[in-house]
């Protein structure tokens, strides 16, 4: 049996509290100059139950020899896949009907590493995730003008910015970057 993470139950309307929880995950990401420290949580919007969390570089990547340039959202998906013993592309079949994603930073639309983008992964779940709650837009540090939000919205996925934590999220995200 796979190890089950335990998470607090948060009232579903409390978007700020879910974003705070994702920010706590982001703090666990190792600071590096060549990436952002991002945290994410998959949440059952009906119950407020946190289904999985992840942070940048938490887990090994898809490809053999990939040391784990995994993004926070991808780590959430890997954990659900492992928990249910399904391929990552199949997690839409096991997620609750109203699953939403909280991520401290707008999901990436392209990857310098050649890995599949988080936007592609979310869209690839065929509507299993209908809303993505975002803390901040991606700074132009690596990918200029990330258009992840536009692609998600074109695919029928709502993107909602959660106000009030931007400064703290940015501070954590930029850990390891020169000031």
For 175, half-sphere exposure in the C-beta direction (CA atoms, 13 angstrom radius) is: 15
Pick the catalytic residue from 20, 58, 73, 106: 73
- CATH fold of 15-69+82-158+166-170 reads Cytidine Deaminase; domain 2 (3.40.140)
Phi/psi at 12 (nearest 5 deg)?
Answer: -60, -35
The pLDDT tens digits of the residues spanning 54-68 come to 999 999 766 555 556
Query: How high is the mean pLDDT of the chain?
Result: 88
DSSP structural state of residue 89: G
| C-alpha closest to that of 43 among 115, 120, 96, 105 | 96
Identify the pLDDT of residue 7: 80
Identify the pLDDT of residue 116: 84
Could you tell me the pTM of the whole model?
0.90
The pLDDT tens digits of the residues spanning 66-117 come to 556 789 999 999 999 999 999 999 999 999 999 999 999 999 888 776 678 9
Domains of the chain, residue spans: 15-69+82-158+166-170
The b-or-e profile of 54-81 (16+ CB within 10 A means b, else e) is bbbbbbebeeeeeeebbbbbbbbbbbbb
Known catalytic residue at 46: no
């Amino acid at each position: 049996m796979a190890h089950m993470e335990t998470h607090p139950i948060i009232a579903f309307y409390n978007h700020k509290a879910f974003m705070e929880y994702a920010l706590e995950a982001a703090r666990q990401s190792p600071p590096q100059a060549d990436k952002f420290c991002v945290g994410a949580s998959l949440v059952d919007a009906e119950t407020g139950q946190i289904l999985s969390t992840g942070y940048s570089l938490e887990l090994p990547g898809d490809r053999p020899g990939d040391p784990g340039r995994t993004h926070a959202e991808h780590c959430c998906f890997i954990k659900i896949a492992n928990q249910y013993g399904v391929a990552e592309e199949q997690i839409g079949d096991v997620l609750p009907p109203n699953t939403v994603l909280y991520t401290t930073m707008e999901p990436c639309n392209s990857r310098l590493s050649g890995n599949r983008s988080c936007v592609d992964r979310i869209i690839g779940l065929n509507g299993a995730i209908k809303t993505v709650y975002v803390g901040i837009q991606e700074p132009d540090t690596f990918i200029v003008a990330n258009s992840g939000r536009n692609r998600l919205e074109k695919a029928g996925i709502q993107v909602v910015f959660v106000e009030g934590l931007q400064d703290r999220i940015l501070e954590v995200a930029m850990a390891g970057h020169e000031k």
